[in-house]
Chains A and B, each alone.
Chain A
Amino acid sequence: MRPLTHEETKTFFEKLAQYIGKNITHLIDRPDDPHCFRLQKDRVYYVSEKAMKLATSVARTNLMSLGICFGKFTKSNKFRLHITSLDYIAQYARYKIWVKANGEMPFLYGNHVLKAHVGRITDDTPQHQGVIVYSMNDTPLGFGVTARSTVELTRLDPTTIVGFHQADVGEYLRDEDTLF
């Protein structure tokens, strides 16, 4: 376990900022329970400082995971956000898409979000913006990237793709083996 280097932090925060914008500060500067990010075997973990201090006493080979895994760095040093980070980025999300009941299941199977399934969308969402996908009860279902901006959305026909799927909670079942 080691803290992130400068370049790694930069890449990681850039990726996060796509989804939560400037609320990253809320993740780090928590007054009640300070958390931090640590790197173990190319995976980034979000862990409270108390737990982190305890984890230093575990040998590197024996340490499986700590805190919440946000994602991992690929071989080419790009950061990939995992579904396990959903709880936290859902809290601080800037742009959201709410999906109607008929659109939940297709999304959970890994399909993209169509306009017919969109129940609500945050105003002034630009194109290619990271969004969190919610059901109509405000339970987070996953995240993705917008294909069209809100302004354009009004003129499209119902079968066009509005959001590209990147991760959804169905992956917990599908990718059970590879998730950790």
Chain B
Amino acid sequence: MAPKKGSGSTKPKVASSKIKNIKESSKQKKNASEKKQLRRNNKQDDKGNGTKGKKGVPVPETPERELTEEDFAMLDENSTSLQFLAKVKPDELTKKVEKGPRPEIYDQRPSKEDDISSDEGFDSYDSDEGIDYSNDSDQEQDYELRPRSISSWNTADSNRLPIKTKEGHLHAVKEDATEAKEQDDQEEIESEDSSEEKEEERASEDDTSNVPSVEEPQIPPRQQIQLDKEELASFAQKLLEEPEESLHVFKSIFGKFQSPLITTKKLSLLTALAVFQDLIPGYRIRPLSDEEESTKLSKEVAQRWSYEQTFLKHYMRFIEILEFIFKSYPSLENDVQKSLYEVAVRCVSRLIEHVPHFNYHDKLLTLAVQQLSHKSKRNNFDMLMKSLGTILKEDNLGRVSLDCVKLLSKMFKHRNYDVLPDVYDLFLNIQILSDMELKDSSNEPTKLKKRKQDRPHLTKKARKTLKETKEIEKEMKEADAVISAEDRERFQAEVLKMVFLTYFKTLQARSKLLGNALEGLARLSRLINVEFFGDLLQVLRELVLDDNMLLAEGKPAVQTTREALLTVSTAFEITSAPGVNKLNLDLDLSIFIQRLYRLILPFSLNPDADLTYKVNRLRDPDAPTKKTVVNASTQMEMILKCYQSFFFKSKSVSPARLAAFSKRLAISSLQLPEHSTMAAIALLTRLVSRYTKLHRMFTSEEQIGDGIYQPFVEDPELCKSSTAMLYETFLLKNHYSPTISRSANGLFKVSTE
């Protein structure tokens, strides 16, 4: 209790009066009511700020009272112990205590040798001289944060039980640090590599000395491979004999994959592939729903289900391994490692081909498509291509085709349509669209919804039973697994949509694969919906116009002759497609006609105009060997097709155009190789027999027309073709090939009839 003073005066008081005060204070302690007053005084002091020194503790105000005799008696009794009171200065007592500077020792970290773990360790902090306690925050000090380390706690280095020696003493077995590490490592290894674990444990037990790395005893690789082969063979046999019992054998096969020898890895993959090919059931394993898992099952069914689920898990693991190999392809250096890649590719392609109905087929397809998406052909590229082609061709229902097409389209889009042309041509293999017909939606009778009154009246029970029977029927249908026509049509529609979208986007992107896209489009031209048709024509027109502009400026066209031909022929095919007739409109494709007209002369100078595998012509030894694409049409064939659709299929042809094109065809027939010349003459004969106006082009007696024929004007209307003469027939009569001269004669005869 601080001595109370009425005012903040610092007048020194006589000791006796002090003592007097103290006596008073000691008495007051017992007085509860006085206490309350103290508290009140305290509060008043706080508010009034009366007795507070500058840095002082607020002093409670208490009224002074006289010292009684009892007080004196107490003082006399304890005089020796109360001597200090003489030295006490009341002001100092109220003064706020300043802490000294923080002792350094607080901030020192305990070194390892300092075993502070002993209980009396903190005595060293008792020397308080010159200590600054200014940091009296409530935060934890550093010394509090240091962990306690008690040496006795660290004695249990080894998990081993103590050993009794011969003499009967117990002592703890100390393990080596390395062996402890090994144990940790072992725990981190995946459970799949159980075989490897066993090997390591065995090795560690053998090693009594501290060898940091565990090595198997050196077996020569050949022997090792032999051993592995035998082991794998035994695994495979076990699996095939009793699949239900021996699913864990898969783990050992995958364990073999972890071996450092590449041959072993390959062997393990191939074993797994063979086993899977045999073991995969003919149905798709459905993942179990929760409620099915919880219901009580008969033993057989439960066994079957658990077998299926574990089988699926192993299959998944296999696929993951393959994925891992694919991902690590960029880091493979030499051919030996790449052969592992080849094996993986083979596995994937086989699985795709043989088990398209099974689970994870889409995952396999994703992997395959990823491998095809690279700019350069990787090993075993052909195998993948073949397998994908096969599944597309053999697909009857369409689901597999749809998955495949979806993935391929996505990949093309991702690569901005800059893929290998072989991959792009995979679309040509799609068989499911071959028998599809364009559905005319307007021809279908519109189903009027039955009015409410017309619906048959069913009671609630009847409705419920009807619903249930419908559901059961649905399930039964599924079990039948008959390819319903509706599903097939649905898949066809989806596939068609995706394929068209891809082609369209390729055209818009002006990628290098324009030709392939156009060819694909030409094949599917009869299926194009009328709405697409306008946009498609627009894109084709733009393609032609760009080239026209370049040609007009004298620059070479961007498109090759083949691509331009494809553009024009596609445009013609589209407009002559059956669905377009609905428009009742005959479109005059003047731009495309112009382009075709422009094409003919440069095309005629191409010696490969009709190069197919059928032509018996010696190959040019200097030319780079090009792979002959069997199903692509030659340029001559395309020109014939264009002429066909333009002159024979459309209803009316302007005579100027007719004459112009015939003249150009005749000119080109003098330059083309043999087969093409044959074809050109045949075409001319047909034209002349169909259009009698052309007869006057063979005789120069009737003179009609204005001006001279301009052979180099690139517009069929402006070249004044009405004055042209087809003298080429005379020249062709003297052709070296007898068939050609005979047909030229025939043409001449027709024209003079």
Chain A residues at the B interface, C-beta cutoff of 8 Å:
23, 26, 32, 91-92, 96, 98, 118-124, 136, 138, 150-151, 153-154
Contact = CB atoms under 8 A, between A and B. Distances in A.
A96 B538 CA distance: 19
Contacts of B654: 138
A156 B708 CA distance: 43
Q: Which of B534, B538, B585 has the most CB of A within 10 A?
A: B585
A158 B573 CA distance: 26
Contacts of B489: none
A154 B651 CA distance: 18
A151 B530 CA distance: 12
A118 B584 CA distance: 10
Interface string B560-595: 000000000000000000000001011111110000
B692 to A, nearest CB: 14
Interface in B302-334: none
Contacts of A136: 652
A124 B655 CA distance: 22
B541 interface: yes
Q: Which of A23, A32, A121, A154 has the most CB of B within 10 A?
A: A154
Contact of B591 (A98, A119, A123, A153): A123
A11 B588 CA distance: 30
Contacts of A151: 534
Contacts of B707: 32
Contact of B586 (A26, A91, A120, A124): A120
B589 A123 contact: yes
Contacts of A26: 718
Given A91-B718, A151-B534, A96 B588 contact: yes
A60 B59 CA distance: 132
B200 interface: no
A91 B717 CA distance: 7
A98 B656 CA distance: 15
Contacts of A138: 652, 654-656
A23 B541 CA distance: 20
B708 A120 contact: no
A153 B655 CA distance: 26
Given A123-B537, A124-B541, A136-B652, A154 B718 contact: no
B240 to A, nearest CB: 65
B587 A123 contact: yes
A21 to B, nearest CB: 11
Contacts of B589: 123
Contacts of A150: 585, 587
A122 B585 contact: no
Interface in B61-102: none
Given A26-B718, A92-B718, A121 B708 contact: no
Interface string B194-235: 000000000000000000000000000000000000000000
A153 B585 contact: yes
A139 to B, nearest CB: 10
Contact of A120 (B537, B652, B655, B656): B652
Contact of A123 (B588, B708, B717): B588
A32 B710 CA distance: 11
Instruction: Classify chain B: how many residues form its interface, as a range.
Output: 20 to 34
A118 B718 CA distance: 25
Contacts of B586: 98, 119-121
B655 A122 contact: no
The 6 A-B pairs at the shortest CB distance, nearest first, are namely A120-B586, A123-B587, A138-B654, A122-B588, A154-B583, A123-B589
A3 B655 CA distance: 36
Given A32-B707, A32-B708, A91-B717, A121 B583 contact: no
A154 B655 contact: no
Contacts of A91: 717-718
A119 B590 CA distance: 16
Contacts of A32: 707-708
Contacts of A154: 583, 585
Contacts of B588: 96, 98, 120-123
Residue in A32, A118, A120 with the greatest tally of chain B CB atoms within 10 Å: A120
A35 B624 CA distance: 54
Given A32-B707, A151-B534, 9 more contacts: A96-B588, A119-B586, A120-B585, A121-B587, A122-B590, A123-B588, A123-B589, A123-B591, A124-B591
A123 B590 contact: yes
Contacts of A123: 537, 541, 587-591
Interface string B576-616: 00000001011111110000000000000000000000000
Interface string B531-547: 00010011001000000
Interface in B649-665: 651-652, 654-656
Contacts of B537: 123-124
Nearest to A119: B586
A42 to B, nearest CB: 29
Given A32-B708, A98-B652, A121 B718 contact: no
A153 B534 CA distance: 12
14 contacts: A98-B588, A98-B652, A119-B652, A120-B588, A120-B651, A120-B652, A123-B587, A123-B590, A124-B541, A138-B652, A138-B654, A151-B534, A153-B585, A154-B583
A93 to B, nearest CB: 8
Contacts of B717: 91-92
A121 B591 CA distance: 13
Q: Which of B534, B588, B591, B708 has the most CB of A within 10 A?
A: B588
Nearest to B575: A123
Nearest to A150: B587
A120 B587 contact: yes
Contacts of B656: 138
Contacts of A96: 588
B348 to A, nearest CB: 48
Contacts of A98: 586, 588, 652
Nearest to B586: A120
A14 to B, nearest CB: 22
A122 B585 CA distance: 10
A23 B589 CA distance: 18
Nearest to A151: B534
Contacts of B718: 23, 26, 91-92
B351 to A, nearest CB: 49
Nearest to B708: A32
Contacts of B652: 98, 119-120, 136, 138
Nearest to B584: A154
